[in-house]
Structure 1
């Protein structure tokens, strides 16, 4: 995987191995499934859509009633854009994706959502926490770390530290 800036700071170019693109597409399906079919008591859904007012049931209910559908819709759209961009059918080779600033920030939204779900599934509460269960689902942990690498690489290109 290679992440590079487009000329003039206009966006991001991502070069993925076909297998990486297929993985991202599959993970986008999983994020969409959690958002669409997730049970209300699913802790991963709770991380994606946290209670804005944990100490005030009425305010929390009103907040959810007025914002949840649009939040879920935005997150599902971000996952769909990733799925569309990474849809490949052949093995081997590379997939090049060019994203303008807006599209790239949408991808970052998706990557954040993905990492929240994966963190919940493998028991990561705090990345620096020494008690994290290192033995839970190596595949999901590797996907969590890889998504963090992609996210970090994109952020470096989109928002470089000015020195």
Structure 2
């Protein structure tokens, strides 16, 4: 799969990958965005929740951070002035990008107050930059999914 991005889009993805990594690495336990990335498996059972988190959290965070790092590596743009960045991804790498894009969209959705796709309740208080990034990441994600899993409709 070939992903073609404008240099500015590649730089944006790299910056957003840094931010996802920061949320995963430095996020406060009460950060709702972190809660969306690592939801409580047992909200009604504190003991089971702690045990589940103890055995799964580190590997989940590591996998999400690795996905963000792969995106950051692939979107590293030098100052050579190239207008377009072409990224070749095998199927496994593409699915890693989709993992990153899902994590990114969950964080952005939390930051702009989107509870469900198409939720207009957040429109009055949204941050236009974050909302645009959320929608653009969804476009990239949807485009990748169409290539990876085409359907005959």
Q: Under a length normalisation based on structure 1, what TM-score does the superposition of the two structures give?
A: 0.90
Partner residue in 2 for 1:94: 84
- How large is the Cα RMSD of the aligned pairs? 1.1
How do residues 40-51 of structure 1 correspond to structure 2 at under 5 angstroms?
Answer: 40-51=29-40
Q: Does 1:33 align with 2:38?
A: no
Partner residue in 2 for 1:115: 105
CA contact (8 A) 1:119 1:125 kept: yes
Unaligned runs of 5+ in 1: 1-11
State the distance in 2 between where 1:129 and 1:20 align.
25
- Structure 1 range deviating more: 12-21 or 87-96: 87-96
Unaligned runs of 5+ in 2: none
More strand by share: 1
State the distance in 2 between where 1:106 and 1:130 align.
30
Q: Under a length normalisation based on structure 2, what TM-score does the superposition of the two structures give?
A: 0.96
State the distance in 2 between where 1:122 and 1:132 align.
7
State the distance in 2 between where 1:111 and 1:98 align.
17
More helix by share: 2
Partner residue in 2 for 1:5: none
Match of 1:149 among 116, 139, 142: 139
Partner residue in 1 for 2:46: 57
Cα deviations by residue, 1:13-54 (Å, 9 ceiling, x for unpaired): 101110000000000000000000000000000000000000
Aligned length: 152
